[in-house]
Amino acid sequence: MTIAYWCVLAAAIIPYIWVITAKASKPGFNNNKPRIFLDELEGWGQRANWAHANSFEAFPAFAAAVIIGSAVSNVEQNTLDALALLLLYVGFCMVFLYHR
């Protein structure tokens, strides 16, 4: 399995890391009413919740680009791997750059 495909797997797992972080940022999480809890978050918890949503939004296009790029493009695998790693890195850094 190529590095780019491992990046797709990582991109599928990352949203869950962010939502776990958001839920742990403040005591009192109620699994019966998670949206109310998440909407009331502030600071780091709020940014983690936004990252969770953004990660899910970006995943389908990223996965499709990697799969199509691997299957039908003339791009070298090293280039595709580097671009996939770059996208994961930028997505991770973006969380820390959110403004209030």
> Using CA atoms, how far apart are residues 81 and 3, in angstroms rounded to an integer?
5
Can you give the pLDDT at residue 74? 86
Can you give the pLDDT at residue 11? 96
Can you give the pLDDT at residue 99? 52
Structure-derived torsion over alpha carbons of residues 73, 5, 7, 84, reported in degrees to the nearest 10: -10
Can you give the pLDDT at residue 98? 66
Low-confidence ranges of the chain (pLDDT < 50): 100
